[in-house]
Structure 1
Amino acid sequence: MRLRGVYFAVAAGSFRRYATYRIATAAGVFTNTVFGIILAYTFTALWSERPHLGGYDQSQALTFVWTGQAILAAAALIGGGFQEELQERIRTGDVAVDLYRPVDLQMWWLSADLGRAAFHLLGRGIAPVVVGSFLFELALPVSPLAWLAFLVSVTLGVVTGFALRYLFALSAFWLLDGAGLNMLSTLLSMFFSGMLLPLTVFPGAFGEVVRALPWAATMQVPADVLLGQYEGARLSEAYTFQAVWAVVLMAAGRALQSLATRKVVVQGG
Structure 2
Amino acid sequence: MGVYWAIAVRSFHRFSTYRIATLSGAFTNTVFGFIFCGVYLTLWDARPGLGGYDVSDALTFVWLQQGLLMPIGIFGATTTVELGERVRTGDIAVDLYRPTQLMIWWLSVDAGRAAFQLLARGGFPLLVGALVFDLNFPSSGVQWLAVAVALVLGVLVSFGIRYLVALSGFWITDSRGLESLAMVLSLLFSGTILPLVVFPGWIGSVARATPWAATMQVPIDVWLGRNPGGVTSALMFQLFWIVVLLLAGHFATTLATRKVVIQGG
TM-score bucket (shorter structure): over 0.9
Contact kept, 8 Å, 2:12 with 2:115, in 1: the verdict is yes
> In the alignment, which of 171, 176, 183 is matched to residue 174 of structure 1?
171
* Residue 22 (1) aligns with residue 19 (2): yes
Normalising by structure 1, report the TM-score. Answer: 0.95
Bigger mean CA deviation after superposition, 210-219 or 92-101: 92-101
> In the alignment, which of 250, 254, 257 is matched to residue 258 of structure 1?
254
Q: How does 1:1-269 map to 2 (within 5 A)?
A: 4-230=1-227, 234-269=230-265
Contact kept, 8 Å, 2:153 with 2:239, in 1: the verdict is yes
Q: Using the TM superposition, give the Cα deviation of residue 257 of structure 1 relative to its aligned residue in structure 2, in angstroms.
A: 1.6
Q: Using the TM superposition, give the Cα deviation of residue 183 of structure 1 relative to its aligned residue in structure 2, in angstroms.
A: 0.8
- Residues 226-253 of structure 1, C-alpha deviations (whole Å, 9 max, x = no match): 001249x821111100011011011111
Bigger mean CA deviation after superposition, 94-103 or 116-125: 94-103
Secondary structure at the aligned position of 2:56 is classed as helix
Q: Using the TM superposition, give the Cα deviation of residue 142 of structure 1 relative to its aligned residue in structure 2, in angstroms.
A: 4.1
Contact kept, 8 Å, 2:87 with 2:166, in 1: the verdict is no
Secondary structure at the aligned position of 1:194 is classed as coil
RMSD, matched Cα: 1.3
Q: Identity across aligned pairs (percent)?
A: 55
- Residues 40-79 of structure 1, C-alpha deviations (whole Å, 9 max, x = no match): 1110111011111010000001001111111110011122
Q: Using the TM superposition, give the Cα deviation of residue 171 of structure 1 relative to its aligned residue in structure 2, in angstroms.
A: 1.4
- Residues 14-37 of structure 1, C-alpha deviations (whole Å, 9 max, x = no match): 111100100110011011101111
Q: What amino acid does structure 2 have at the position aligned with 1:78?
A: F
Contact kept, 8 Å, 2:214 with 2:238, in 1: the verdict is yes
Number of residues paired by the alignment? 265
Q: Using the TM superposition, give the Cα deviation of residue 177 of structure 1 relative to its aligned residue in structure 2, in angstroms.
A: 2.6
Q: What amino acid does structure 2 have at the position aligned with 1:50?
A: R
Task: Find the aligned partners of 1:217 and 1:228 in 2 and give their Cα distance.
Answer: 15
Normalising by structure 2, report the TM-score. Answer: 0.96
Contact kept, 8 Å, 2:189 with 2:196, in 1: the verdict is yes
Q: Using the TM superposition, give the Cα deviation of residue 146 of structure 1 relative to its aligned residue in structure 2, in angstroms.
A: 2.1
**Which ranges of structure 1 fall in alignment gaps of 5 or more residues?**
none
